[in-house]
Structure 1
């Protein structure tokens, strides 16, 4: 008798788990469930929003154009590499 009750309980738990999973998969559009707002997805930067990379004329390191130290028409990564 105990084995029969065990198997009945096990079948009920499996059915409940499957139904719960199916309910989550067929939830409302946008991922909102139970009246709660959907978590915000991180925004990807626009394709043109990337910064141009330059190469140091002294050491060859690539660096963002906003950190450029121009000297004599060439690009340098820091003031130490720019000719004095």
Structure 2
């Protein structure tokens, strides 16, 4: 009886190993992985600016201009004014 259980367990492990190898060879991402959104067309891409205070790059729509200089936030613009 012990020999039969041993051989059944061995067959089960071999089948599981083969299935795992076949699954990894397909390179299919798991279904829970979120898909990357499609890239926007070139006419909708927004320009990026660099903050004078901290050097962080940010979208031009969030720009704060003080004395002709670009800042990423009003807080950085106020810090630079001091």
- Give the TM-score taking structure 1 as reference length: 0.49
- Give the TM-score taking structure 2 as reference length: 0.50
More helix by share: 2
Between structure 1 and structure 2, the one with the greater Rg is 1
